[in-house]
Structure 1
Amino acid sequence: MSVSRKTVLIILAFFAIYVIWGSTYLLNKIAVTQLAPFFLSGVRFAVASVIIFIIAKSLKVSLYISKKQLLNTTISGFLFLTLGNGLAVVALQYIDSGFAALEIASQPLVVLIMMRILLGKRISTMSYIGVVLGFIGVFLLVSQKEIISKDGQILGMILIFACMLSWAYGSIFVGKADLPSNIFVNAGYQMLTGGIMLAIVSIFLGESWVLPNLWETDVKWSMLGLIIFGSIIAFTSFNFLLKEVSPEKVATNTYVNPIIALILGWWILDEHITLQSIIAAVVLLTGVYFINTKRTFKLKNIGR
């Protein structure tokens, strides 16, 4: 594959994780009003994995993976989907979709700190400034009296933080793990194993399983969007990027995701946006910018 073609794929993949993932907060918020969170996520990723495997077979791609790769895709599926996505959907039962996206905007901070602790990665002066601004932004966001006084808000914020920890560690793990080289096979096995584990958690928690013919129309459309766009397109793009650029660079999708989520939540769900939330967003995203400024895309294995 030539450098120019690889660059185009990277740009398209970034568009997918920037814009499409920004809309999934809204879609999950709509779907979780009727469906139990782990059941919702389990169906989403299990169905998406089947579709991805069908696409792979139609392209004559082998679905064979080694035992080690199966173990690694199971671990990453657990970190990204069972914990990372499952907990986020649970949190959306208690907090607004735009608020959840803003809190998750601090993920690059978590990735950077984890890389420092786990990999000994040096943190630049600009990144230190970004971390400070990021923590100030998060504090402004979660300290709002009108938010923390609502029932379930604190639980929702804690769940989102746990989701970020799992997703951040998963990003670092995937960047070093032995995984299938084909992005469809890689994403397919992650979603299959993650979906199965989500279903197991759903059964363990005694969640209600509702057949699709009983779903409301808006829930059906939301699930379709989550499967096709949020899972197959965006999650495959995410896994592709983790192998081509640094984890903290991939985490910059949080620049755009909260803006998309805030606008859609306000426009469609009539979610309230406070002035303090706007200020928090500006401070937080400025911090994320400082973390990633002066970094460049580092393409690996261009000729692969």
Structure 2
Amino acid sequence: MPIRNLSDFDLKSLRIFCAIADAGGFTQAQTSLNMHLSKLSTTISDLEVRLGLKLCQRGRQGFQLTQDGLAVYEASRGLFSDIDRFIGNLGALHGQPAPNIHIGLVDGLLTLPQMPTAQALRRFREQLPQTQIHLHIHRPDELEKLVLEEKIAIAVGAFHHNLSGLVYTSAFQEEQSLYCATQHPLFASSDEHIAHSVADHDYVERGYMQESQRPCQIRLKKAAVAYTMEAISTLVLTGQYLSHYAQQWQQQGLLRALQPALFSYSSTFSIITRQGKTPDLASQLLQDCLLAATK
């Protein structure tokens, strides 16, 4: 028989269940929950009895949610999100903002003049000074996953595909160019030579996207893979690779943009939020501050 109401103990057990699912298993969740393995196992077994559902498989083949377990996990995440939003909105009625907000950014945003991140966060803090900001730096694909899972409320990055369940709000455009360092053979080459030989040189590709054929049909020679802008710049500054990054190094004379008319393209940076989720006071204010900072 389905349960008719939830007790505080039920909510605590559901939070433990979600933490185990997030960690990928009972053993992995012990440290974050500060609970012994036997206690975790007993809690989930009791919860399964309470719900009348088998939530997960655990054994030699590892931890895996059942179909019912996945449904309970998603329903629990929605429940906790609603509770947090209710508490935040209730606090706002008393002049107290929501205590926490989790924000996600791709790395490298700090140096972009089109996205004055610090200015946006300053405006946000001026209006909600008691809100504690949790700032996360991740790859674009990781940010999308975290927003979908409602682990962060809002994220900013260049996303090259629109996922179902997310809302993408365009914020600004950034020009991407193909660069080499001063030590690279193409640094002092003519445009004509570059056009004919660029495909023969090693290229640093971003590990989270397929971009080797953009913005033209030339298939660049992938020789290294990097997952952050800092990693890309480190490899390019060796003088051994080409990459679509980065204007700040060009201004210092350390990099050259190779034939911008041919190899440059515009990339859209967007603010993403969870589709179907009414933003709380802090999330809506932060999005407004981010959009205002790009104008």
User: Which has the larger strand fraction?
Assistant: 2
Structure with the bigger percentage of helix: 1
* TM-score normalised by length of structure 1: 0.25
Task: Give the alignment's TM-score, normalised by structure 2.
Answer: 0.25
Q: Which has the larger radius of gyration?
A: 2
